[in-house]
Amino acid sequence: MTDERTTTFKGDPLVILGPELKAGDNAPDFELTDNGLGAVSLADTGSGTRIFSVVPSLDTPVCDQQTRRFNEEAAALGDVTIYTVSADLPFAQGRWCGAAGVEKVKTVSDYKNGNFGESWGTMIRDWRISSRAVFVVDGANIIRYAEYVPEIAEHPDYAAALATARDIVGSS
C-alpha cells in the first residue's frame, strides 16, 4: 500500500504519494535521467554530501528562484554536490540552465517513471510531478535534513538546509 499525504498549491489540497522521509532515514535509491539522457542512481551521485532540491518545474517562478539560490550558494559550501530534481524533460532542463547561467547545480529528471517522487515522497498523484522539497544526504546515504514544503508556491527553508550541509562537511 502506498502512503498518501497532502500538500497545497495556492491553498488547494493535492495528494502526495510515497513515504514521508525524515532525518536519520536511509536515502532510497532512484533512477533519474541526466541532461545527456544517461541514467543516474543514488550511487551515481557519489559518496559525499549532496543536496537534492526538488521542484515541480524549472519554468515556474519559485522553482527558478530556488534553483538559482542553490546555484549561488554552491561555491561557498565546499565539498557538496547539489542536484535539482524535476519532471521537466532533460532537454528543457539543459536549456533552462544555459539561459539562467546555472552551472554549479546538476539538473536531473524524474520524467521517465517518477520513481524518485514515489520513493522520496514528493509525487503529486494527479499531476505526476514532484512537490517542493529539499533533502540533505551525507556520504553514508543517510538523510540528515528533509523538508517537504507544505505549500508548493512557497520557498523552502534555505538556511536550515545549507546549515545542515555545512555541518556535515565541517564534521568530516
Give me the active site residues, please. Answer: 63
* CA nearest to 148, candidates 169, 131, 160, 136: 131
φ, ψ for residue 21, nearest 5 deg? -80, 150
Give me the DSSP letters along 22-51: -TTSBPPP--EE-TTS-EE-TGGG-SSEEE
Residue type, 82: I
Cα 44 from chain centroid (whole Å) = 15
Give the helix ranges, DSSP H, for 76-157: 90-100, 115-120
The DSSP symbol for 151 reads B
